[in-house]
Amino acid sequence: MSDHESSEFGVAACYEGYIPNSSLYSGNVSVHVHGSACTTRWARIVWDDNNSCCTPLWGKIERQVNGTYGWQTTHSKTIKLGFGAFGTHYTDTVPWVQYSDQRFRACYSYGSTLPSTWTCGPAVG
């Protein structure tokens, strides 16, 4: 993993691979933000097991930008995992834009359709 210096404008450092301080471990699911240097971010979802039958798991990556009205989600990618699809999975990517006041977070939820509520890890630059 490479960690480039933050710019004088306060932009978060660029990372290749796992983004530090972005993890959430919750029972049998963990989510993490991953990145490809200063170009993209995605969520890594690890689904170990589930004691309740048949409910799909969803994973999500969010890109948020700080503007006039506070933090607003500008990009989001989700993945739906059918019950029993245990293991490691990844969402599609969202952009990382240099010199933006932005942050990212990885989330998960359960449900047959796209969830309206999510459990999310810490937001990171």
Beta partners for 77?
Answer: 61
Cα–Cα distance for residue pair 20/120, rounded to 1 Å: 15
Tell me the residue length of the chain.
125
CA dihedral 89, 93, 99, 104 (to 10 degrees): -40
Q: How many CB atoms lie within 10 A of CB 2?
A: 9
pLDDT tens sequence across 87-121? 999 999 999 998 889 999 999 999 999 999 999 99
> What's the average model confidence in pLDDT over 62-85?
95
pLDDT tens sequence across 41-59? 999 999 997 666 788 999 9
- The whole-number pLDDT of residue 10 equals 37
Q: Which of 75, 47, 40, 50 is nearest to 60 (CA)?
A: 75
- The whole-number pLDDT of residue 51 equals 63
Q: Which of 30, 14, 72 is nearest to 22 (CA)?
A: 30
Above pLDDT 70, what percent of the chain?
87
Q: How many CB atoms lie within 10 A of CB 104?
A: 26
The position carrying tokens 């690890």 is 46
